[in-house]
Structure 1
């Protein structure tokens, strides 16, 4: 399988055929057409980071079947006990160590002062191939690297396609729980209704459940021996004000994380388009950058229709 390494040189894209083959220089506006023309040959596209290349191709209607995401592969190899780390060291190794993905609200390809432009994908690919070839676990590691790179394509395609999301259903669900959409800066009606009940129960007329430090002080002033205001801590307390307080905190969290502002920011054209990040967590699991795509609260999941 032939690989094609893509890299930026100012406003020009260079496409290097694998094994020291031809080098094609393209204007950035010609990249999508070039990739589309080569894709029937099923090459493996090698790039510094899929988040910098693939979203633009998808926006132009071009999908690819295979890639090598050097950023993700670098992270795997650098953390592997089965790799000779000396084989991965080069002049720009620290840059590869620090390279982060771009997100939906950031410019990607040809962004000004992109740290990826200071890296050498050709040299990094050679180092990764040498490290993999010398590993006693080259078979399993190779599969993992291929899976990580495939995940990079999937993540970009998921973001591009979006998840079906009914803003009107989401609005109705919020209204049923919180009341009508409030004016910016004000609490929803249900929170305003709970507030005097909570204050009366604790005998604290100025109690503010939205302030962690203020809430902690109010609870302690009411004679409760607490050191934090986490939900599981409060749930263990016996006090008539705890039930409405927990209800308030639950609804307040929904309002702040997946309320009407969330709809405005993340839903357009009937689709929810978060930025998915393969290996985005410290454990290597997927994460999402903004939108909470992997932790949508149960109260609003019916809007995903």
Structure 2
């Protein structure tokens, strides 16, 4: 097994061919194939590790969610990549150039899956030479769009997004240290003991009975919004939904226990014992992170609610022995970025303190 000689801006396309085989394509400065190495799945991770240690090239991959997950499971990490799926989403919709990428169904993001494919799964819809042709054509088209933006911003954005794809997979594989015993204790304290036969925990039952008594409807199904709304209307609570904000605008004895019941119900359904058994294994919470998963470019997650963990459950996040958790809040990141992008020196000055909006008020730009 040979490793090609290194060089400046070395780029290697790593492409799944199907049938447990991969191709590593060395590209020259014109994005043309210079050398090809065919690898069985059993040799892929070792070969990538050897090349990465020697030269840290930029790996051109279909998606970190596919190929990098496999490498990480084999204990191999890479430093730089060009993620064709993530970059396609950026370059397809950009208004910075005259000829953005046309839509291409084959390069749209796939729905994330709960299980990671093995090295022997087929990763690409095309196989063999067709897979190589499709990947290289997509890469060249993306490079052409990035080159048209002569200020280099698209190139930097694609590099950053591709790095985000690697980070997302590393975070999933590493997992978040999670103490299942602490989680269970919080649920028990908040909801009551876990019911043995799958019923509702004690505190939910108590609150539910209180609501039914105040609504004078002992058989009311509280999780049926139409029935709950009719019961509320009968006692003079004229609401169109059972949202917290609409209910809180009314004064009636039923509001407080109903809101309490809904809060307990949310905890049970979103992060209760079922969630704990499904998402926490071997002391780790491993959600699927999705870079650029929403239209604004923010990350999303698939399953587990990784980006919306309730505050009262966060004590279950416990650092491993010998490690420490660092909590960082990149406060008001978006307006700070906009100030830099717009070269708005006044807003940038206001942002130099701890609170950008307080700085704006202090500058006299707005009245308090």
Match of 1:252 among 261, 265, 281: 265
Alignment of 1:57-68 (within 5 A): 57-68=71-82
Counterpart contact for 1:99–1:115, Cα < 8 Å: no
Question: Could you say what secondary structure the match of 2:227 adopts?
Answer: helix
- The 1:101–1:47 alpha-carbon spacing in structure 2 relative to 1, beyond 3 Å, is farther
Counterpart contact for 1:7–1:14, Cα < 8 Å: yes
Query: 2:177 aligns to what?
Result: 164
Query: 2:325 aligns to what?
Result: none
**2:242 aligned with 1:234:** no
Per mean C-alpha deviation after superposition, the further-off stretch among 103-112 and 274-283 is 103-112
Matches of 1:235 and 1:9, distance apart in 2: 58
Larger radius of gyration: 2
Alignment of 1:1-305 (within 5 A): 1-11=9-19, 12-19=21-28, 20-40=33-53, 41-85=55-99, 88-89=101-102, 93-96=104-107, 98-100=108-110, 102-105=112-115, 107=117, 111=121, 115=125, 120-137=134-151, 139-183=152-196, 185-305=198-318
Instruction: Normalising by structure 2, report the TM-score.
Output: 0.78
Which ranges of structure 1 fall in alignment gaps of 5 or more residues? none
Matches of 1:217 and 1:136, distance apart in 2: 62
Matches of 2:111 and 2:85, distance apart in 1: 8
Counterpart contact for 1:32–1:57, Cα < 8 Å: yes
May I ask how many residue pairs the two structures share in their alignment?
300
Matches of 2:276 and 2:282, distance apart in 1: 11
Structure 1 residue 261, shift from structure 2 partner: 0.6
Which ranges of structure 2 fall in alignment gaps of 5 or more residues? 1-8, 319-368
Structure 1 residue 110, shift from structure 2 partner: 5.1
Instruction: Normalising by structure 1, report the TM-score.
Output: 0.93
Matches of 1:64 and 1:101, distance apart in 2: 24
Counterpart contact for 2:191–2:202, Cα < 8 Å: yes
**Bigger relative contact order, structure 1 or 2, given CA contacts below 8 A and separation 6+?**
1
